Amino acid sequence: MFIEVFKSKIHRAVVTEAFLNYMGSITIDEALMEAANLLENEKVQVVNVNNGERLETYVIKGKRGSGTICLNGPAARKAQVGDPVIIISYAMMSVEEAKKHQPTIVFPKEGNKL
């Protein structure tokens, strides 16, 4: 049996951009992605701390060190620039693997820096 468990998250990053006229996704600074163990095209859940909105999308790699957290396409309607968000990924694993699993949590500093 496999279960879906919390794999990693970026806790309270700040939205820096929102582009409505884009096909969709969230662009994340490559350094934040690596620190949070996120891969390009990986499915994530984005939770807006200010308004409670939740959405699922996939990750696009942003410029390293830029601090970019950009909601693209319809997701741009779910947050405004300056909103704090929590970006969460999950993984499927066996119950035995899950018992040993330690999630990765990143707490960005001002400007979404590590």
Q: Does 72 map to a domain? A: yes
CATH number for the domain including 41?
A: 2.40.40.20
Q: Does 113 map to a domain? A: no
Q: Which domain, by its residues, includes 34?
A: 2-107
22 labelled catalytic: no
Q: Does 33 map to a domain? A: yes
The pLDDT value given to residue 24: 80
**HSE toward the beta carbon, residue 13, CA cutoff 13 A:** 30
Q: Does 22 map to a domain? A: yes
66 labelled catalytic: no
| Cβ(17)–Cβ(70) below 8 Å | yes
Q: What are the backbone dihedrals phi and psi of residue 26, each rounded to the nearest 5 degrees, phi first?
A: -130, 130
Domain count of the chain?
1
pLDDT tens per residue across all 114 residues of the chain? 999 999 999 999 999 999 999 988 999 999 999 999 999 999 999 999 999 999 999 999 999 999 999 999 999 999 999 999 999 999 999 999 999 999 999 999 999 999
Q: Does 26 map to a domain? A: yes
Q: Which of 25, 66, 89, 90 is catalytic?
A: 25
Instruction: Please give the Cα distance from 49 to 94 (Å, whole number).
Output: 31
The pLDDT value given to residue 109: 98
Q: Does 29 map to a domain? A: yes
The pLDDT value given to residue 84: 98
In angstroms, the Cα distances linking 40 to 17, 30, 77, 114 are 18, 9, 22, 19
